[in-house]
Amino acid sequence: MSIKTFHVLNGDALLDKFPADILTGEIIIARECLIDGPVAGDTFEDFCQTRADFIQETYHEETDVYFNDVASEFARIKAIPAGSEVNFWFEDDLFCQINFWFCVSLLKPVSDSIQAYIIKPDINEKEPDWRGFGMMDHHLLAEAYQHKLPLSPTDLDLFNDLWTAYQNNDSKALATLSTVKSEKFPLLGMVVQAQLDRSNNRPQRVLKDIMKEKQTADFNIIFREFSKQEGIYGFGDWQVEKLLEEINS
């Protein structure tokens, strides 16, 4: 019996460049921004309803679109059978990591029996370039696959625990987990700390400093500078726009 292979990609932007002509396996897309908004839900169905309601209220996307385009892909992850090979294509920044933790949590029932791998861009620990896959073309992505890193059941347990702590807004648990050393994710402690720093408005404070220093309200200038200084968050323009609205209000 042949092993089923799956590729879990973080977003459609990565799909557009994915070397599907070279790599075999089913492609599943994580189309979420779990760094933004509520993530409550005792069951998968409750969680999806929470997110669908939030996306509709905040980004004016109809809930049926969420269930058709987003929840359906997560359901495909949940349905991955034991014994499969699962390749996670996620970057190191907080946006990607939170989505990654959630996707790992969906595989908890079979985590001891799957062959899991992480594919991510090389990153300089001293001077991280948080642009990640955005700087890679079709050929570089295929090359990155050749250097994929295996994830052990212990690794998967860590990411599952990180998701649980994040979902429960458990700062104490997150702080404890941030001290766990991970060879595959050497920047994990820094990334989790960035999440903890959101409680004291670190992103908002940086945005205020940028507007003051640059003497501008031009979104493009502000967003570019924020991405340079705080790329660790992985925020897109929608998230930064929301933060600016909070500041201005």
Q: What is the pTM of this model?
A: 0.96
Rg over CA atoms, the chain: 18
The C-alpha atoms of residue 196 and residue 220 are separated, in whole angstroms, by 27
DSSP state of 4: P
Which are the contacts of 124, defined by CB distance < 8 A and separation ≥ 6?
Answer: none
Q: Write out pLDDT tens, residues 29-77.
A: 999 999 999 999 999 999 999 999 999 999 899 999 999 999 999 999 9
Across the range 224-238, mean pLDDT stands at 96
Least confident of 126-130, 149-153, 191-195: 126-130
249 pLDDT higher than 90: no
The C-alpha atoms of residue 219 and residue 201 are separated, in whole angstroms, by 19
Backbone phi, psi, residue 89, to 5°: -105, 90
Can you list the alpha helix ranges (DSSP code H) found in the chain?
12-17, 44-59, 63-66, 72-78, 94-106, 138-145, 153-167, 171-177, 188-196, 202-214, 219-229, 237-248
For position 125, what pLDDT does the model report? 73
For position 1, what pLDDT does the model report? 63
Contact present, 215 and 118 (Cβ < 8 Å): no
CA nearest 69: which of 27, 98, 30?
30
For position 124, what pLDDT does the model report? 74
Across the range 5-30, mean pLDDT stands at 96
For position 123, what pLDDT does the model report? 73
Q: Write out pLDDT tens, residues 71-129.
A: 999 999 999 999 999 999 999 999 999 999 999 999 999 999 999 999 998 877 778 88
For position 135, what pLDDT does the model report? 86
